Amino acid sequence: MADILNYIWLIPVLPFLAFAAAGTVFIGKPATAAAVSIFAIAISFIISIITAVLVFTSAPGFIYESSLRWLDMPGLRVEMGLLIDPLSALMLLVVTTVALLVQIYSLGYMRDDPGFARYFAYQSVFAGSMLGLVLANNFGQIYVFWELVGLCSYLLIGFWYHKDSAKNAAIKAFITNRIGDFGFLLGILLLLITFGTLSFSQLPNQIGQYSNAAMLLVIGLLLFLGPMGKSAQFPLHVWLPDAMEGPTPVSALIHAATMVAAGVYLIARAFFIFSESAQVMSVIAYVGGFTALFAATIAITQNDIKRILAFSTLSQLGYMVMAMGIGAMTAGMFHLTTHAFFKALLFLGAGSVIHALHDEQDIWKMGNLSGKMPVTTVTFIIGALALAGIPPLAGFWSKDEILSGAFAGSHTILYLLGVFVAFLTAFYMFRLIFVAFFGSNHGGLHAHESPAPMTIPLIILSVFAIGAGLVNTGLTDFAFSRYITVSGLEHHEPVSAVMIISSLVAAAGIFLAWLIYQKQIISAEAIKTKFIPIYNLLQNKYYIDEIYAWAGKNLVLGSSRLFEWLDLKVVNGIVDGLAGFARWSGSKLRLLQNGQIQTYTVYIYVGLIVLLLAAICMSVNAWLI
Amino acid sequence: MIGFQHYLLLAALLFGIGLLGIVFKRNAVALLMSVELILNAVNINLVAINKYVLGGSGLGQLFALFVIVVAAAEVAVGLALIINIYRLKKSSDVDDFNILKW
Amino acid sequence: MMNASPLLSFILFIPLLGAALIMACPKEKHQPIKYIAAAAALISLLLSLIVFLSYDFQKAGLQFTQTYDWIKDWGISYGVGVDGISLPMMLLTALIGFAAVYASWKIADRVKEFFALLLILISGVMGTFLATDLFLFFMFYEVVVIPIYLLVVMFGSTKRVSKEYAGMKLTIYLLIGSAFLLVALIALFITAKDMLGYPSMNIADLAKLNFALGFQIFIYILMVLGFGTLLSMFPFHSWSPDGYAGAPTAVSMIHAGVLKKIGGYGLIRIGLFIFPAGAKVIAPVIAALALGNVIYAAFICLRQKDLKYIVGYSSVSHMGYVLVGIAAASLISINGAVMMMFAHGLMAALFFSMIGNVYEKSHTRSIEELGGLARQMPRMAVGMMLAGLASLGLPGTVNFIGEFTIFVGAFSHYRVITIIAVSGIILTAVYILRTMGAVLFGPRLEQWDHLQDLKGVEMVPLLVLGLPILIFGVLPFSVMDFINSGVASLLAHINNIMIGGIL
């Protein structure tokens, strides 16, 4: 059993090899490319399961580390390592499970796409990068794979590169992430300069002995910029909704379940740094809480099925980050895990609907899908219930952990905020369901159930969406909390009052959605017209995109224009001016050389006379003195 | 009494006239004549220096004879060139002789 | 004198020999001329690889040295050798030289002149990196200028500026730079002669001397002007975009790829090595000017429409990182600077060869006219994408190693400057992705349906330049160990001098 540790390096390496193979020799053979890719992730999945079994049957403090020299010089050493502890074992499990299911699902979803082989190559490189990130044992390695994951996101969002919207969304995603990475990189540099190491196993000791609180504050805030970009926290959230331009399985894999979770994972991984500074923690908590609320309010007015899910992802990520910020690291990771399953389920379900309706994404053009797509409908509702936090589904337990944490830690504002967001979540999810899956068929579109490669992953994921929450209940003696924790972190027993309140609130949200969109007792139109300014504000996502576009156009391109002018007119102008002066003086002096001997004669004698006069003057001077 | 200075002055005057001729004349023949004037000014100087400075050694006369010979050769070549160019250009004005100028 | 192995001399003179053979060919025989050029570049590349693989970095220092007296009265000798700093530069020159021959395979006009000049150019650049004698270094540097001028003026292209303007600007800038260097060289020679008691131009000999601080500063300023111009240091960079835009593909590749690096190489291997105290005084100025490169040039890049201008300004921007590394002058930062030069050379050459390929087929380089080329030219798109990603310093490419190491090295010396320089990674991402989006992605344009993808010999530049970007990016220690050995011994030497000397 412990032998498995010798093969862990295969987990990230195999998908990379599959990428190399699918991207080069098999690029013309789609079926082989897909087979290679799925085979690689399947092997990684099996190794991950065995590893996880090993870790979770050992004592909670299990740790295994090995590393290779990568970049080495006196004062700077970056290693490529493998770190297996409960946290990374959990993430391995989540990532490989979702990645495997999504790749199988893609067999059906992407069947007719001309870029089939390329798609699987990208999927493989994404899986490899994500697994490399999860296994990293130092910040240098994390940064390397962090950027690679960003690249994969760029490639996959822009997969249909012939669409301008996809192209722009891809660029936006990469650049927004780069802004976060800028801070992240600076944070890493500061860490390296201050502590001389980037290793997760050495840093905690060093930081424990370090007392400069201001430095820890700066480092913490800079490092947090990375997760803000990757986990799409306000104000770097703008890329995530646009990322829905990619194929839907990609949205499920990257923009719901795994990549965006990398930010949260990083906070958990580097929790020992963040938790050193109370200010950093409260920044994290409030950024997360604000994002949760902000995104949930936008979600209630959106009409595109994938965008609703995207904003719900933003909102849930906000929850996780908030959990980290209030010190409930375990709860955050728990929510990450359950969310990965039910959000992947929801996205794949949405993909199934979109696939069936030939790329229609507007929920108002759908309707009454329940009869035609029974599997999709049932699994989607399971996912929505899990997301809304209805007991005993997975989302209930994890969301409850976070709310209990906020309640027990007496973060009253954040607790109330969390409860309100839970209400909004239930409301917008069931708004979607009542409009799209029930009611009348508005668009007259003909739907059909999706093929088996697509429905089977839905069914498997819905099992997880139902059951995954149970790992941290009394049934398993709160196993999750015992393994995924850091020293000094106390686990709050779920408070039953909190549980009851949140269930009631979620039920209220569903009930309200039922009243408005199913029974139509309350008119949605009337509310909309009554609050038209607020509706517009929400519908347009608080105009954040417009503000950024304005800033980009006026500030960035403006300074670009200024600098270009400077370069062409001033810097280059001086150079050309010097050349022009040489040319001009040449053209003037050239007149002296007119080729007439007579003129030259004059010069000679004038010169002679001048010399003579000078000589006379000097001799007179000498004589006078 | 005519002395050394007077010869020098005459030579300088002749030289000046020749120089002005070279500078201001545009006719090629006139230029050649001006050159002759300058050479003759030099000749006067040479002869005068021979008498007053070298004490009649004859070296000055020797050089003057050289100059006369060279001047004759120069005039011969110069006139031949001028006549040839005149045939080509129907002009003896040096301003028209700019065929070598870029 | 140690005359271990003549390998380096072969590397140096085989391209010249090829040029001589080409000169002897009748000018209609295009194919044989191209084969001779390719063979010469290939032999040079293979020998470089042998040297690279057999260099012993544990031992460090100059290896494969050869020294013969040349002009004894002035202490000038023919001396070649490689250390950890020149080794990657040599490999880079050989790689790019080989790729450049293939990138010019489609030349149909004045083939004989083109390849002869190209080989002379390769030899000249190679010579500057291999020379251990200052005079030899300078001579090879001057050798480079003539073929560059002729190649640009004869084979260049006229867009925003005419090729004559571009060629003239490039040449005059190079000559002005070398004029400063010549002054420095003569002053150094005379002073060193008095101190040594005998004339010498050997770089290692000169470095043992302890010059007066004022003299060091004076000479180092001259070198910064000379080498800085070559490295397109702000505000002496304006030759770079215009020059690349006017030059034919192969010249852009060699110029941006290696010729520019002579500047950085010279600043480290000569400037810093011989005048450490002067360098220390001038360093803050360099660091400040470097920001001009990094940020200013990156902003300008955002508005360029001609692909070659984009890469031209981006190379100015990237050289800023090198300058920051040189200014900080710590082991890590100089390691990074050398790595960055190596990485940028590969990247820029790959970029230019892909641009050249597109231009050759479509006759435009405007990103407004091009678009959606990933559909018609997928392999070219892979090459350009790889170059672009390397340019924005993505991990997995060797450029990331360079940038990261420079940042780490410079951060403890120039905190604010480094922070601003790091923000360059955002701007770089913006303009590179904008360019990639405009050229490769977006709707398919029918007027480009006739464009053929890379095939046959056109794949050579992509493979020869693209694979090292990835290989050295994934296994950075394979080249960083060499660089580190070279830089470490250089800095150890400097520290000895500075402790024993006036400072």
pLDDT at C503: 41
pLDDT at C28: 83
The minimal CB distance from A175 to the residues C235, C429, C444 is found for C429
- Burial C195-223, CB ≥16 within 10 A → b, else e: eeeeebbbbbbbbebbbebeebbbbbbbb
The minimal CB distance from A572 to the residues C238, C423, C433 is found for C238
Band of residue C17 on the pLDDT scale cut at 50, 70, 90: very high
pLDDT at C502: 44
Verify whether the Cβ–Cβ distance B100 to A595 is below 8 Å: yes
Q: Where are the alpha helices (DSSP H) in A523-596?
A: 524-530, 532-539, 544-551, 557-565, 572-589
Number of A/C CB contacts below 8 angstroms equals 128
Instruction: Tell whether the model's pLDDT for residue C40 goes beyond 90.
Output: yes
Verify whether the Cβ–Cβ distance A560 to C303 is below 8 Å: yes
Q: Give the residues of chain A that fall short of pLDDT 50.
A: none
List A residues 152-171 in contact with C (Cβ-Cβ < 8 A): 154, 158, 161-164, 167-168, 170-171
Q: What is the DSSP string of A424-458?
A: HHHHHHHHHHHHHTSS--SS-----PPPHHHHHHH
Q: Which of A371-380, B10-19, C339-348 has the weakest average pLDDT? A: A371-380
Residue A568 CB-density burial (10 A; 0-12 exposed, 13-18 middle, 19+ buried): middle
pLDDT at A492: 63
Band of residue C321 on the pLDDT scale cut at 50, 70, 90: very high
Name the closest residue on chain A to residue C402, using Cα atoms: A71
B19 neighbourhood in chain A, CB within 8 Å: 601, 605
Q: What is the DSSP string of C166-201?
A: HHHHHHHHHHHHHHHHHHHHHHHHHHHHHHHSS---
How close B90 comes to chain A (CA, Å)?
Answer: 20
Distance, CA of A330 to chain centre: 21
pLDDT at C201: 85
Band of residue C1 on the pLDDT scale cut at 50, 70, 90: very low
Q: Which residue of A594, A598, A605, A608 is the best one to mutate when testing the B interface, meaning the one whose CB has the most B CBs within 10 A? A: A598
pLDDT at A444: 60
Q: Where are the alpha helices (DSSP H) in A300-328?
A: 305-325
List B residues 13-42 in contact with A (Cβ-Cβ < 8 A): 19, 22-24, 31
The minimal CB distance from A186 to the residues C331, C419, C440 is found for C419
Q: Is the dihedral of CA C161, C162, C167, C172 positive or negative?
A: negative
Band of residue C490 on the pLDDT scale cut at 50, 70, 90: confident
d(CA A569, CA C444): 37
C402 neighbourhood in chain A, CB within 8 Å: none
- Taking a C-beta distance cutoff of 8 angstroms, is the pair C171, C145 a contact? yes
Say which residue the tokens 């860490």 belong to: A191
Q: Which residue of B15, B22, B81, B102 is the best one to mutate when testing the A interface, meaning the one whose CB has the most A CBs within 10 A? A: B22
Using the Cβ of A586 and the Cβ atoms of chain C, whether some distance falls under 8 Å is answered with: no
Say which residue the tokens 């390329």 belong to: A118
Residue A588 CB-density burial (10 A; 0-12 exposed, 13-18 middle, 19+ buried): exposed
Tokens linked to B64: 């003057």
Q: Which residue of A593, A596, A602 is the best one to mutate when testing the B interface, meaning the one whose CB has the most B CBs within 10 A? A: A596
A602 neighbourhood in chain B, CB within 8 Å: 23
Verify whether the Cβ–Cβ distance A601 to B19 is below 8 Å: yes
Tokens linked to A320: 């996780």
Verify whether the Cβ–Cβ distance A147 to C400 is below 8 Å: yes
A598 neighbourhood in chain B, CB within 8 Å: 22-24, 31, 94
Q: How far is CA A298 from CA A428, A514, C43, in A?
A: 10, 19, 64
Using the Cβ of A114 and the Cβ atoms of chain C, whether some distance falls under 8 Å is answered with: no
Tokens linked to A339: 């969310």
Using the Cβ of A410 and the Cβ atoms of chain B, whether some distance falls under 8 Å is answered with: no
Verify whether the Cβ–Cβ distance A601 to B98 is below 8 Å: no
SS3 (DSSP) at A293:
helix
- Taking a C-beta distance cutoff of 8 angstroms, is the pair C130, C8 a contact? yes
Q: How many CA atoms lie within 13 A of A298 on its CB side?
A: 24
pLDDT at A1: 61
Output the average pLDDT for chain C: 88
Identity at C460, one-letter amino acid code: V
Verify whether the Cβ–Cβ distance A71 to C389 is below 8 Å: no
Distant-in-sequence, close-in-space partners of C446: CB < 8 Å, separation ≥ 6 = none
Distant-in-sequence, close-in-space partners of C183: CB < 8 Å, separation ≥ 6 = C222
Q: How far is CA A553 from CA A240, A485, A598, C437, in A?
A: 21, 45, 66, 17
Q: What is the DSSP string of A200-237?
A: TTTHHHHHHT---HHHHHHHHHHHHHHHHHHTT-TTS-
Q: Which residue of A68, A72, A76 is the best one to mutate when testing the C interface, meaning the one whose CB has the most C CBs within 10 A? A: A76
SS3 for A146-200 is: HHHHHHHHHHHHCCCCCCHHHHHHHHHHHHHHHHHHHHHHHHHHHHHHHHCCCEC
d(CA A181, CA A175): 9
DSSP letter assigned to residue C161: S
d(CA C95, CA C11): 12
Closest to C440 (Cα-Cα) out of C277, C275, C265, C307: C307
SS3 (DSSP) at C251:
helix
Say which residue the tokens 């739907």 belong to: A447
What is the percent of chain C with per-residue pLDDT over 70, rounded to a whole number? 98
| pLDDT per position as a tens digit, C147-170 | 889 998 888 888 778 888 888 888
d(CA A623, CA A615): 12
- Taking a C-beta distance cutoff of 8 angstroms, is the pair C239, C173 a contact? yes
B95 neighbourhood in chain A, CB within 8 Å: 596
pLDDT at C404: 92
Using the Cβ of A596 and the Cβ atoms of chain B, whether some distance falls under 8 Å is answered with: yes
A601 neighbourhood in chain B, CB within 8 Å: 19, 22-23
- Taking a C-beta distance cutoff of 8 angstroms, is the pair C268, C342 a contact? no
Kindly report whether the peptide bond that precedes residue A392 is cis, defined as omega within 30 degrees of 0.
yes
Tell me how crowded residue B83 is: count the other CB atoms within 10 A of its CB: 13
Q: Which of A96-100, A439-443, C226-230, C471-475 has the weakest average pLDDT? A: A439-443
- Taking a C-beta distance cutoff of 8 angstroms, is the pair C5, C64 a contact? yes
How close B60 comes to chain A (CA, Å)?
Answer: 25
| pLDDT per position as a tens digit, C56-95 | 888 878 888 888 888 888 888 898 888 889 999 999 999 9
Distance, CA of C467 to chain centre: 18
Verify whether the Cβ–Cβ distance C422 to A560 is below 8 Å: no
pLDDT at A326: 87
Using the Cβ of A605 and the Cβ atoms of chain B, whether some distance falls under 8 Å is answered with: yes
Helix (H) or strand (E) holding A297: helix A278-299
d(CA C45, CA A532): 70
Using the Cβ of A595 and the Cβ atoms of chain B, whether some distance falls under 8 Å is answered with: yes
C235 neighbourhood in chain A, CB within 8 Å: 571
C with B: touching (≥3 Cβ pairs within 8 Å): no
Band of residue C206 on the pLDDT scale cut at 50, 70, 90: confident
Verify whether the Cβ–Cβ distance C405 to A179 is below 8 Å: no
B101 neighbourhood in chain A, CB within 8 Å: 595
Using the Cβ of A173 and the Cβ atoms of chain C, whether some distance falls under 8 Å is answered with: no
Q: What is the DSSP string of C13-65?
A: HHHHHHHHHHHHS-TT-HHHHHHHHHHHHHHHHHHHHHHHHH--TTT-S-EEE
- Taking a C-beta distance cutoff of 8 angstroms, is the pair A147, A126 a contact? no
d(CA C488, CA A336): 47
A179 neighbourhood in chain C, CB within 8 Å: 426
Tokens linked to C208: 């043992």
Verify whether the Cβ–Cβ distance A598 to B100 is below 8 Å: no
How close A73 comes to chain C (CA, Å)?
Answer: 7
Q: Where are the alpha helices (DSSP H) in C68-157?
A: 86-103, 111-130, 134-155
B94 neighbourhood in chain A, CB within 8 Å: 596, 598
d(CA A284, CA A227): 10
pLDDT at A531: 81
Tell me how crowded residue A436 is: count the other CB atoms within 10 A of its CB: 26
Q: How far is CA A57 from CA A66, A467, B64, C173, C370, in A?
A: 21, 20, 126, 70, 59
Verify whether the Cβ–Cβ distance B23 to A602 is below 8 Å: yes
Q: How far is CA A385 from CA A321, A389, A428, A500, A507, in A?
A: 22, 6, 12, 16, 10
- Domains of chain B plus CATH, in order, are 4-91 (1.10.287.3510)
